[in-house]
Structures are given as structure tokens and as C-alpha cells.
Amino acid sequence: MVLVDTSALLALLDREDRYHDDATLVWRRLVLQDEPVICTNYVVVEAIALVQRRLGLAAVRRLLQDLIPWLSIEWVQPEIHEVAISALMAANRRGLSIVDCVSFEVARRKRVSAIFAYDRDFVEHGFTPID
């Protein structure tokens, strides 16, 4: 099972992103191998907002029609939200987001094998990036 971060979704949609080519190869491999791929509803909301701001509504439409249907969305429960808030406050770092903290907790609970992300916070928190 692979967990997807907003950074990977943005890289897939933005041809100018430095990780676009790599992200496209990884995505194709995941789809072809029928690998279970998850993300949280927090990532979906963050991705929609970021893609709309950076790339426009046409890119949001591509996100919603071409990428999101391939993902299993994990809806964040209050318990996970509270654990993530505690982790965010304990980290005391401006660059770490609540969305990332939620993803870390979901990844731990789901025992994901790899993370599809271009955000170094995942590696710093002990997660293995997908090859």
C-alpha cells in the first residue's frame, strides 16, 4: 500500500514541476501494478486548493477526473485529527503542516509500505519514499 501526498499530485499535474517526469513514471507504474494507493481527505482538500491557485480550474478538473478516482480516500476521524494536532504542536516547526501530520498518522496506522511524495518531511519522519 502506498500513501500519496499533495506534493506528488501537484507534480503529476504541473509540467513545469521539477518532479513531473519522475512522478509520471511512478504513477504509471502504480496504476499498471494495481498497487493500492491511499490518501486522506485532507490531502484532497489541500491539493484542490493548491492546484487551483497555481494551475487553475482546468487542472483541478484533471485532478478530480483523472487522479482522485484511482485513490482510496481515508476520511480522517477525530481521533487521528487530535493525534496530528498534538504532533504538530510538539514539532514546533512552521514548515510542518497539519495535513502532513495527519498523513504520518494514517501511514503508521495503515502500515503503508511507501510514500509517494516529494516532501522531505516524510523521510525525516521515517517513511520510505517510493522508488
- Three-state secondary structure call for residue 33: coil
- In angstroms, the CA 35 to CA 70 distance is 10
Question: What CATH number has the domain bearing residue 20?
Answer: 3.40.50.1010
- The tally of domains found in the chain comes to 1
**131 domain residue, yes or no:** no
Structural domain harbouring 74: 2-122
**130 domain residue, yes or no:** no
**89 domain residue, yes or no:** yes
Q: Was 21 annotated as part of a binding site?
A: no
Q: Was 34 annotated as part of a binding site?
A: no
- In angstroms, the CA 18 to CA 14 distance is 9
- In angstroms, the CA 101 to CA 131 distance is 22
**112 domain residue, yes or no:** yes
Residue showing cell 502506498: 2
- Three-state secondary structure call for residue 101: helix
pTM over 0.85: yes
pLDDT tens over the chain, length 131 residues: 999 999 999 999 999 999 999 999 999 999 999 889 999 999 999 999 999 999 999 999 999 999 999 999 999 999 999 999 999 999 988 889 999 999 999 999 999 989 999 999 999 999 999 97
CA 120 → CA 29, 40, 46, distances in Å? 22, 18, 17
| 56: Cβ contacts below 8 Å, ≥ 6 apart | none
| 12: Cβ contacts below 8 Å, ≥ 6 apart | 20, 23, 24, 27, 67
**127 domain residue, yes or no:** no
Of the chain, the end-to-end C-alpha distance in Å amounts to 13
**129 domain residue, yes or no:** no
